[in-house]
Amino acid sequence: MKTMRLHHWPYAIFRSSRTPPGLYARQKWLQEASSPRWKADFDTTVSGLFEGQSDAGLWSGSPIETIQRLFGLHLTVRTSNPAIEKSLDALLAIASNTEWVEGTNTTAVPEGRLRGLPFAPAGRQFVILPAALFLAAIFGRDSDPTVINSYNRIAAGLSPAALVQMEPAALHNILRAFVVHPDYATHAATGLLAAWLANRQTPQGDWGPGIPFYQALNALAHLDHPDADRQLEKAFVQLTQRQHPDGTWGERDRQWCTFLTVHALQNKKLI
């Protein structure tokens, strides 16, 4: 892939931002990590993210709220600590309940509950389980037997016939979990999901209903796989057309969409 020439500088929206994506961007892309202002904003945000955690490890007794907090901590503190480990334990205990995973809790998680997360709205079992595996992998729990067993169980259930029966958003969320695991990023199941997504891609570069464009773009940018690269080449063409004059992307949640886009471009060393 060739270096991209964007029409507008994409980083302005992150200036002074105290959100986890904003702090990440200010640290990694705007080189503010040594500034007193960034450090103060970082401390304030991280303190708020930890606030309210229960002794059981959850926030508000909610797996979705806990996923939100952990994802914010992933973008800020980056490494695990005892509070994060307790939270991961609680989340994995919920997500690895076989009976629950197999469909006893299929209530859809609405889009509004997933704002600022790299997951698509789907049934709870296809949000919480992939999210728990994603978070476990990025916080260094990729070799945990509970985590490996869940990845293995999901991979064993994926086949061309099974993909036809599953909702696109659920498959997107599974892909999201697989691309961050050091072993499953190159697993045959991940290749199958990448090929499935390639078959959905439209001439406009998106992936149709049920697949959020910027989340899918970012997920594929974590892979080193021919099917992923071909899709990204087509999708990246759209980025210059989709970019707003202020440098952002997205019709809603522009900071989040811009973060996903810039992160994808950075992963592929295109900007």
Q: Does residue 108 have a pLDDT over 90?
A: no
Sign of the torsion formed by the C-alpha atoms of 27, 184, 175 and 219: positive
Do residues 90 and 58 make contact, with C-beta atoms less than 8 angstroms apart?
yes
pLDDT of residue 197 exceeding 70: yes
pLDDT tens-digit readout, 32-62: 999 999 999 999 999 999 999 999 999 999 9
pLDDT value for 175: 98
The ranges assigned to domains in the chain are 81-97+112-267
pLDDT value at residue 106: 62
Q: Rounded to two decimals, what is the model's pTM? A: 0.95
pLDDT in tens, 54-73: 999 999 999 999 999 999 99
Distance, CA of 63 to CA of 92 (rounded, Å): 10
Q: What CATH number should be reported for the domain whose range is 81-97+112-267?
A: 1.25.40
Tell me if 173 sits within 8 A of 120, measured CB to CB: yes
